[in-house]
Structure 1
């Protein structure tokens, strides 16, 4: 019996020696950054399917703690590479944000009756250029000049996720959390400024992914400053891929007269783009 026992001891020592010579398993990077990115693309419908999407239109409603009422109807129009037009209607008045790839404009109601048209701030232009409006920052990230690195793993609402760090061409840093089981986007964040101009981190949650003509899109998107329960909730009712778009859709809004509404017009040159990403 002693002899048999010694054989078990020797086998255990030998196994321990072999294991010691093997490279340690990577807990945070066990799949590798590029594999996570590739699985994310596959989970969302595949890179080839997304590359065929040249424009997109979302129709739905917004629930916001800062809005006077709930269920505010909105339309979001997107076109590669970064053109956006966002319209939301509140109290029978339309608020419009437009970005043509170089400049952006905001249209809001004013007390005079004529809409107030203002250019984007420098921070808003930077965000619009960084938005990666159609397919997000992970797909074809190298071609977009975006560096992606796996920082580690986190629990997000009880789910295991990979935390990816993104360095955008503008120099901005963002994070994307990818579900470790289904590889869909769970959350992202970005730097922003609060009402008084102080720096703040805004987090965006992606929920209720559905198939739309071969690609998967979140039909509920929640966003707001980190650490607060006051979130804006974007609920999508309908998504249209590759809708025909007029060339003036993303042009500067102009006020045509006292009794007219804001239109897209005047400049007939082709438009050379979003608050959220799919």
Structure 2
């Protein structure tokens, strides 16, 4: 009898898991349509963005380069110096003029992964074909974000990193991401990132404003002014 009870409990738990997973899948499918659809995103091989980077109330211009599948570079000029971070597909590096650095610091292993986590270096959204990528999504319920009812979805990547995402119920727009920060200055604190001002450029829909907060205090706001899709970028651009 004890064994039968365990089997029943397991079946109930498994069914609940499947229901949460299926509902999350449906939400993410509609979100994928909201951002332009998987087919349009598959056509995107590079994105170059220019805009402003507001860090703790101080504003700077920035340029970011993204190239399929996961090459990334971000530059912020600062009084004849610059903050930069880059990932060439295998190795990351950075220069932090905010800390007086003038030489490149190489990032390997967990440091490179941390940079990837903070920067979202993947050109294609991790939600697109996420099951084939080995990621898992589960619906956690419904919550209110800035006055809007949102689906709350726990998303766990293949490497074990998890984040909670909030999608508006009325149109499946992603409005918030909540995850432990891997930035060394606020490591392990919860970082809330809000996505706003969605615009469609050449068939894909992108948030032109991303605001990150720690304990409800603004840390970083990225505002895009211009985006170029499929502009040629040499791989050497991302090298140290």
| TM value normalised by structure 2 | 0.83
Richer in helix (by share): 2
TM (norm. structure 1) is: 0.72
Distance 1:52 1:187 in 2: 26
User: Using the alignment, how far apart are the partners of 1:204 and 1:109 within structure 2?
Assistant: 24
Structure 2: which 5+ runs fail to align? 1-18
The structure whose residues are more often strand, as a share, is 2
Distance 2:171 2:68 in 1: 27
State whether residues 193 and 211 of structure 2, in contact with CA within 8 Å, keep that contact through their aligned partners in structure 1: yes
Q: Deviations over 1:97-150 (max 9, x none)?
A: 0111111111234999x8221112644312345535223221110122111111
Among 45, 48, 72, the alignment partner of 2:39 is 48
Taking structure 1 as reference, are residues 92 and 41 closer, same or farther at Cα in structure 2, changes over 3 Å only?
A: same
Q: CA deviation at 1:182?
A: 1.2
Tell me, which stretches of 5 or more residues in structure 1 are unaligned?
1-27, 253-278
- Further displaced range: 126-135 or 164-173: 126-135
1:1-278 matches, within 5 Å, as 32-65=23-56, 69-70=58-59, 72-109=60-97, 115-120=102-107, 122-129=109-116, 131=120, 133-193=122-182, 198-225=187-214, 227-252=215-240
Q: CA–CA distance in 1 between the matches of 2:200 and 2:98? A: 40
CA contact (8 A) 1:110 1:116 kept: no
Which structure has the greater CA radius of gyration?
A: 1
Q: Report the alpha carbon displacement of residue 178 of structure 1 after superposing the two structures with TM.
A: 0.8
Q: CA, structure 1 residues 99+193, in 2 after alignment: closer, same or farther (shift >3 Å)?
A: closer
Q: Cα–Cα, structure 1 residues 203 and 124, in superposed 2: closer, same or farther, change >3 Å?
A: farther
Note the C-alpha offset of 1:33.
1.7
What is the number of equivalent residue pairs in this alignment? 220
